[in-house]
Amino acid sequence: MSSNDWSLEAWMVQESRTWLERFEESLDPVKLRYHKLANNAMKKVRPLLDDPRPLDLVRNLHSKVFEDVKALRTPAQLETFEVVLLSELLCAFPLRAKHWPEMLVTQGPIPDNPPTESLHIYDDVPGPNLSRYAIVVPTSRLKNEHTSREVHELDPPRYVYDLPDFLDGPISRYLQEVRPRLIEPQSQHLFSTTSVATLRNRLQKVQERYFIGPLGLSKAWGFHPYRVLVATHAVKNALERPFEVAASLLLDSTEMVRSTYGHYRAEDSHDTARASIAPTEPKGGAS
């Protein structure tokens, strides 16, 4: 454009175009913030994520598999029970793969700073709707210790997740009937292998046999996609502060849940929104 062609209108068009180009560039990193690992995890369980309660789809299958192997007569049935319990625990508290093979079984008072992860058994049930079991993780073992403020500020430096009471039955049966037949008596480990690769392989084999077909998936999904499922389920169903709830379950930051793990669409909030603006009956009734 020559100096003779310059006008206020041309300048405004040029400035508007420049602003839009910069704005569009600023959007790209947001759309691409999903880490490759999280993207792959999301793809594996993508058909489940639009369901209002995606974890229920998986947990319903857990119940069916537990029923199928309830006789516990063969080594295959014992290993299947163990792996389905792992899947159930991942639905409750989706720790990363590295934590589970080294998890120990402990009982009595929880130490202020446990040296490693443990499935802890309380002497008494800690409260209503809770089981006798808790998962205890030292913050020093967490990947996000310094990115999640909630985790970083814990004192003592540990995270205790009290498990819900519906897990009491499967965990008790595993500890009393299954685990003693899989693990040497002197071992304190929760599961029968201390290899991440072996445990992942067992998990995926059970998923291939029992989960893929009924869930409409194409392949087994391993450990990490449970974080996507849990975050999405929590964001869709938590009554208050859903992103904070999801972040607490993932031991991560709310920013990470928003950008990476929580598959949440605007329309998913419509039911909650309608309920929140619905008129209510005046207190005290008609005058």
Q: What was the pLDDT predicted at 5?
A: 57
In a domain, 57, yes or no: yes
pLDDT (mean) for 59-79: 96
**Percentage helix, strand, coil for the chain under 3-state DSSP, each rounded to 5:** 55, 10, 35
Q: Tell me: the pLDDT tens digits for 4-49?
A: 556 777 777 788 877 766 655 554 333 334 445 556 667 889 899 8
In a domain, 255, yes or no: yes
In a domain, 3, yes or no: no
Q: Which residues contact 250 (CB under 8 A, 6 or more apart)?
A: 94, 227, 230, 231, 256, 257, 261
**DSSP single-letter state for residue 189:** B
Are the beta carbons of 161 and 134 closer than 8 angstroms? yes
pLDDT (mean) for 158-179: 95
For the chain, the domain total comes to 1
In a domain, 6, yes or no: no
End-to-end CA distance of the chain: 75
d(CA 50, CA 262) in angstroms, rounded, equals 11
Give the chain's mean pLDDT: 84
pLDDT (mean) for 136-148: 80
d(CA 138, CA 145) in angstroms, rounded, equals 10
Q: What was the pLDDT predicted at 153?
A: 81
In a domain, 195, yes or no: yes
* Model confidence band, residue 263 (pLDDT cutoffs 50, 70, 90): low
pLDDT (mean) for 143-165: 82
In a domain, 25, yes or no: no
Q: What was the pLDDT predicted at 38?
A: 57
In a domain, 276, yes or no: no
Kindly tell me if the per-residue pLDDT of 118 is higher than 70. Answer: yes
Q: Tell me: the pLDDT tens digits for 26-36?
A: 543 333 344 45
Q: What was the pLDDT predicted at 34?
A: 44
Q: What was the pLDDT predicted at 86?
A: 98
d(CA 231, CA 245) in angstroms, rounded, equals 8
Q: What was the pLDDT predicted at 29?
A: 39
CA 189 to chain centre: 23
pLDDT (mean) for 89-94: 95
Q: What was the pLDDT predicted at 27?
A: 46
- CATH number of the domain encompassing residue 87: 1.10.443
* Model confidence band, residue 128 (pLDDT cutoffs 50, 70, 90): very high
Q: Tell me: the pLDDT tens digits for 194-241?
A: 999 999 999 999 999 999 999 999 999 999 899 989 988 988 888 888
Query: What is the domain range of residue 236?
Result: 36-264
In a domain, 11, yes or no: no
* Model confidence band, residue 256 (pLDDT cutoffs 50, 70, 90): confident
pTM exceeding 0.85 = no
